[in-house]
A and B are shown apart, each in its own frame.
Chain A
Amino acid sequence: MKTEQKSPTSGEVVFERVTKRYGDVTAVDEVSFRVSAGELVTLLGPSGCGKTTTLRMVAGLEPVTSGRVTIGGEDVTLRAANERNVSMVFQSYALFPHMTVLENVCYGPISMGADKAKARQLAQQKLGMLGLTGLEKRLPSELSGGQQQRVAVARSLVLEPAVLLFDEPLSNLDAKLRRHVRDEIRELQQALALTVLYVTHDQEEALAVSDRVIVMECGRIAQEGTPEELYEAPRSRFLADFIGDANLVDGELRVDAVARRSRRAACACRCAPTACRPARRCSPCGRTACASCRAGRD
Chain B
Amino acid sequence: MSAVHGTLERAVFVPAHRDRLTAVVAAIALVALAVLPWALGGGASALARAHGGAAAFWPLVAAAAGAALFAWRGLDRATAAIAAFAVLWAFAAGFAAGPRGLSFGIGAGVALLALTVVFARAIARRGRFAGDTVVATVVVVIAGLLLLFVFFPVGKALVAALFDADGRFAPGLAAQRLLTPDIWSLGCFAGGTRCGVAINSAVLATIVGVGSTLIGLVLALVVQRGGQRYAAITRLLSVLPIITPPFVLALALVVLFGRTGVVTGWLSEWFGIPRSRWLYGLPGVSIAQLLTFSPIAFMILHGALQAISPALEEAAQTLRASRWRVFRTITLPLLKPALANAFLLGFVESLADFGNPIVLAGNYEVLSTKIFFAVAGAQHDPGQAAALAMVLLALTLVAFWMQQRWLGKLSYVTVSGKGDGGVHASLPRPLWTGSFTFAALWIVFTLACYAVILTGGFVKDIGRGDLTPHLGHFASGFGVEWRNGGPAFTGSAWDSLFTTMLVAAVAAPLTAIVGLLSAYVITRHRFVGRRAFEFLTMVSFAIPGTVIGVSYIVAFNVAPLELTGGMAILVICFVFRNMPVGVRAGVAALAQIDKTLDEASSTLRASTVRTLTAVILPLLRPAIVATLVFSFTHAMTAVSAVIFLATAKYNLATVYIIGRVEAGEYPLAIAYSSVLIFIMLAVLLAVQAMVGESRLGRRAAATIATGN
Asked if B13 and A60 sit within 8 Å, CB to CB, the answer is yes
Which residue from chain A places its CB closest to the CB of B11 in the assembled complex? A63
Assuming A107-B604, A148-B704, is B599 touching A66 (CB within 8 A)?
Answer: no
- B601 is an interface residue with CB less than 8 A from chain A: yes
Q: Which of B4, B594, B697, B702 is within 8 Å of A77, CB to CB?
A: B4
Mask, B683-708, CB within 8 Å of A = 1, is 00000000000000100111111111
Surface stretch bound by B, among A78-86, A202-210, A214-222, A258-266: A78-86
Asked if B597 and A82 sit within 8 Å, CB to CB, the answer is no
Chain B residues, Cβ within 8 Å of A112: 605
Q: Which of A66, A68, A93, A108 is within 8 Å of B604, CB to CB?
A: A108
- B3 is an interface residue with CB less than 8 A from chain A: yes
- B600 is an interface residue with CB less than 8 A from chain A: yes
Surface stretch bound by B, among A94-102, A129-137, A179-187, A231-239: A94-102
Assuming A66-B8, A68-B3, A78-B13, is B704 touching A140 (CB within 8 A)?
Answer: yes
The residues in A between 153 and 212 inclusive whose CB is less than 8 angstroms from any CB of B are 155-156, 159, 165, 172
In the complex, what distance in Å separates the CA atom of A20 from the CA atom of B5? Answer: 13
Q: Which of B14, B607, B619 is within 8 Å of A82, CB to CB?
A: B607
Q: Output the least CB separation between A24 and chain B (Å).
A: 14
Asked if B607 and A111 sit within 8 Å, CB to CB, the answer is yes
- B1 is an interface residue with CB less than 8 A from chain A: yes
Asked if A63 and B16 sit within 8 Å, CB to CB, the answer is no
Which residue from chain B places its CB closest to the CB of A67 in the assembled complex? B5
In the complex, what distance in Å separates the CA atom of A190 from the CA atom of B232? Answer: 63
- B328 is an interface residue with CB less than 8 A from chain A: no
Assuming A64-B11, A172-B707, is B3 touching A155 (CB within 8 A)?
Answer: no
Chain A residues, Cβ within 8 Å of B416: none
Asked if B606 and A1 sit within 8 Å, CB to CB, the answer is no
Chain B residues, Cβ within 8 Å of A86: 603
In the complex, what distance in Å separates the CA atom of A80 from the CA atom of B11? Answer: 12
- B148 is an interface residue with CB less than 8 A from chain A: no
Asked if B705 and A65 sit within 8 Å, CB to CB, the answer is no
Chain A residues, Cβ within 8 Å of B226: none
Asked if A81 and B599 sit within 8 Å, CB to CB, the answer is yes
Chain A residues, Cβ within 8 Å of B236: none
Q: Output the least CB separation between A264 and chain B (Å).
A: 32
Asked if A90 and B604 sit within 8 Å, CB to CB, the answer is no
Asked if A87 and B603 sit within 8 Å, CB to CB, the answer is yes
- A59 is an interface residue with CB less than 8 A from chain B: yes
Which of B6, B8, B605 has the most A CB atoms < 10 Å from its CB?
B605
- B610 is an interface residue with CB less than 8 A from chain A: yes
In the complex, what distance in Å separates the CA atom of A83 from the CA atom of B606? Answer: 9
Q: Output the least CB separation between A43 and chain B (Å).
A: 17
- A125 is an interface residue with CB less than 8 A from chain B: no
- B664 is an interface residue with CB less than 8 A from chain A: no
- A9 is an interface residue with CB less than 8 A from chain B: no
- A17 is an interface residue with CB less than 8 A from chain B: yes
Which of A75, A78, A87, A159 has the most B CB atoms < 10 Å from its CB?
A78
Which of B12, B600, B604 has the most A CB atoms < 10 Å from its CB?
B604
Asked if B605 and A111 sit within 8 Å, CB to CB, the answer is yes
- B618 is an interface residue with CB less than 8 A from chain A: yes
Chain B residues, Cβ within 8 Å of A98: 618-619, 697, 701
Which residue from chain B places its CB closest to the CB of A60 in the assembled complex? B13
Asked if B130 and A63 sit within 8 Å, CB to CB, the answer is yes
Give the A interface residue count (CB, 8 A): 49
- A7 is an interface residue with CB less than 8 A from chain B: no
- A88 is an interface residue with CB less than 8 A from chain B: yes
Q: Output the least CB separation between A176 and chain B (Å).
A: 19
Asked if B596 and A90 sit within 8 Å, CB to CB, the answer is yes
Asked if B605 and A90 sit within 8 Å, CB to CB, the answer is no
Chain B residues, Cβ within 8 Å of A59: 599, 603
Asked if A61 and B11 sit within 8 Å, CB to CB, the answer is no
- B418 is an interface residue with CB less than 8 A from chain A: no
In the complex, what distance in Å separates the CA atom of A182 from the CA atom of B302? Answer: 50
Assuming A68-B3, A78-B14, is B603 touching A92 (CB within 8 A)?
Answer: no
Asked if A96 and B597 sit within 8 Å, CB to CB, the answer is yes
- B580 is an interface residue with CB less than 8 A from chain A: no
- B283 is an interface residue with CB less than 8 A from chain A: no
In the complex, what distance in Å separates the CA atom of A94 from the CA atom of B706? Answer: 8
- A26 is an interface residue with CB less than 8 A from chain B: no
- A223 is an interface residue with CB less than 8 A from chain B: no
Asked if A91 and B5 sit within 8 Å, CB to CB, the answer is no
Chain A residues, Cβ within 8 Å of B13: 60, 63, 78-80
Asked if A17 and B707 sit within 8 Å, CB to CB, the answer is no
Asked if A92 and B596 sit within 8 Å, CB to CB, the answer is yes
Asked if A97 and B704 sit within 8 Å, CB to CB, the answer is yes
Which of B6, B7, B14, B603 has the most A CB atoms < 10 Å from its CB?
B603
Asked if A141 and B605 sit within 8 Å, CB to CB, the answer is no
Q: Which of A84, A91, A141 is within 8 Å of B700, CB to CB?
A: A141
Chain A residues, Cβ within 8 Å of B606: 82, 107, 111
Assuming A80-B13, A83-B15, is B604 touching A111 (CB within 8 A)?
Answer: yes
In the complex, what distance in Å separates the CA atom of A134 from the CA atom of B656? Answer: 62
Chain B residues, Cβ within 8 Å of A68: 3-5
Chain B residues, Cβ within 8 Å of A20: 11
Mask, A41-67, CB within 8 Å of B = 1, is 000000000000000000111011111
Asked if B5 and A79 sit within 8 Å, CB to CB, the answer is no
- B615 is an interface residue with CB less than 8 A from chain A: yes
In the complex, what distance in Å separates the CA atom of A98 from the CA atom of B700? Answer: 10
Q: Which of B14, B599, B605 is within 8 Å of A94, CB to CB?
A: B599
- B17 is an interface residue with CB less than 8 A from chain A: yes
Residues of A participating in the B interface, judged by any CB pair closer than 8 Å: 1, 16-17, 19-21, 59-61, 63-68, 75, 77-84, 86-88, 90-98, 107-108, 111-112, 139-141, 148, 155-156, 159, 165, 172
Residues of B participating in the A interface, judged by any CB pair closer than 8 Å: 1-8, 11-17, 130-132, 594, 596-597, 599-607, 610, 614-615, 618-619, 697, 700-708
The 3 closest A-B pairs by CB, nearest first: A92-B707, A97-B701, A94-B600
16 sampled A-B residue pairs with Cβ under 8 A: A63-B12, A67-B5, A78-B16, A82-B602, A83-B17, A90-B707, A91-B596, A92-B596, A92-B706, A94-B596, A94-B597, A94-B600, A97-B619, A98-B697, A141-B701, A172-B707
Given contacts A88-B603, A172-B708, 19 further A-B contacts (CB under 8 A): A61-B599, A63-B12, A77-B3, A77-B4, A78-B14, A80-B602, A83-B16, A88-B599, A92-B706, A94-B707, A98-B618, A98-B697, A107-B601, A107-B606, A111-B601, A111-B607, A141-B704, A155-B604, A159-B604
